[in-house]
Amino acid sequence: MVAKAGSGERLPDHTECAFGRWYRGEGEKRFGHLPAWRAIDEPHRVFHAIGADLAEEARAEKAEELARTSLELLRCFVALKREIVRT
């Protein structure tokens, strides 16, 4: 997404990207019962919203927000992996 900063290009939202389609489809069928699975939805949505803002206007603040949100998503993925391993 950073590569598209300031391009004005429309980026896929959180339901249109490859992960979002899997998350709401097959992934939800397999892991939707897990709390860590449900915790991914909001940071994933925010990641795409910030990415769309950054594509509209290249601003350092938006790039920093995108980095912070990426870290939050990574934490969610790690928590999900731990939860899956325990089940």
Please state, in angstroms and rounded to a whole number, the distance separating the CA atoms of residues 73 and 16.
17
The helix/strand/coil state of 23 is: helix
Residues 32-57: what's their mean pLDDT? 94
Residue 62 maps to a domain: yes
pTM of the model: 0.84
Q: pLDDT band for 26, please (50, 70, 90 cuts).
A: very high
Residue 5 maps to a domain: no
State which residues form the domain around 23: 13-86
Residue 7 maps to a domain: no
User: Mean pLDDT of all residues in the chain?
Assistant: 90
Residues 66-79: what's their mean pLDDT? 96
pLDDT at 9 over 90: no
Residue 31 maps to a domain: yes
CB 66 within 8 A of CB 54: yes
Residues 29-48: what's their mean pLDDT? 96
Task: Tally the domains of the chain.
Answer: 1
